[in-house]
Amino acid sequence: MNLPPLVQTFVLHFGEMGSRWGVNRTVGQIYALLFVAPEPLNADDIVEALGVSRSNVSMGLKELQAWSLVRLRHKPGDRRDYFAAPEDIWVIVRTLIEERKKREIDPTLSLLRETLMERPESEFERHAQERMREMHDLIDMLTDWYADVRAIETERLVQLMKLGSKISRVLDFRERLGFSIKRDGSQIPSPDNEEGSR
């Protein structure tokens, strides 16, 4: 590996972190490299930078594409594929969350739904099913919330996050004005349209 010290530190770190993130070391290193690179890199650039085999890079890039984490680029008069991480880091974060949800959450939610259809045959099963119901309902609520949040544009999302826990005062406020909290929105005068509220 032949990289400037700063970059090397970063790349090695992401290699090690990779395993905690469900990808192997090479994939982590490739992505770290693409992330900091000032322009798209081709597979041979990566081979040279990281000192791993060509086939390993090929597989790593394939995996990063499966995660939708890289963009394919081309240079005129050059047949090779060039790869780049999205310029906008928020795009990366959103993609990561989306993909991890798909891999780590959704399969469990499906399994829970199926399992909750079954009829318990024993007291143990009955209790187990009750616990699974709790888990299902919680994950269900979280994914609904996530679907809502995902739809908020980044700038607005940042503003909201910067409010931090102060956001929770909106509850006191709504309560004081006699808002009821309903998810479908049918009966909820929001702060935007209070006219129906008091």
Q: Which of residues 115-174 bind a copy of itself (CB under 8 A)?
A: 115, 118, 120-125, 127-129, 131-132, 134-135, 138, 141-142, 144-145, 148-149, 151-152, 156, 158-173
Contact region with DNA (CB under 7 A), list: 6-14, 55-63, 164-172, 180-188: 55-63
DSSP code for 166: G
Q: Is 70 exposed, middle or buried (0-12, 13-18, 19+ CB in 10 A)?
A: buried
Q: Closest distance between DNA and the C-beta of residue 24, in Å? A: 3
Nearer to a copy of itself, 55 or 106 (CB): 106
Q: Is 55 a binder of DNA (CB under 7 A)? A: yes
Task: Return the closest-CA partner of residue 27 out of 76, 74, 83, 78.
Answer: 83
The distance from CA 55 to its chain's CA centroid, rounded to whole angstroms, is 28
Q: How far is CA 12 from CA 17, 46, 72, 185, in A?
A: 9, 14, 24, 49
Residue type, 82: Y
Q: Which residues pair with 75 in a beta bridge?
A: 78
Determine if 103 is a binding residue for DNA (CB under 7 A): no
Asked whether position 197 contacts a copy of itself by CB under 8 A, the answer is no
26 contact, one of DNA, a copy of itself, none, CB 5-8 Å limit per kind: DNA
Are the C-beta atoms of 23 and 59 separated by less than 8 Å? no
Nearest residue to 33 via CA among 55, 59, 2, 63? 2
24 binds, among DNA, a copy of itself, none (CB under 5 to 8 A by kind): DNA
**58 touches, from DNA, a copy of itself, none (C-beta below 5 to 8 Å by class):** DNA
Q: Say whether residue 129 binds DNA (CB under 7 A).
A: no
Which residue stretch of 74-82, 111-119, 125-133, 140-148 sits at the interface with DNA (rule: CB under 7 A)? 74-82
Q: Using alpha carbons, select from 7, 95, 96, 91 the residue that is nearest to residue 45.
A: 7
Which residues sit at the interface with DNA, rule CB under 7 A?
19, 23-27, 42-44, 52-56, 58-62, 78-81
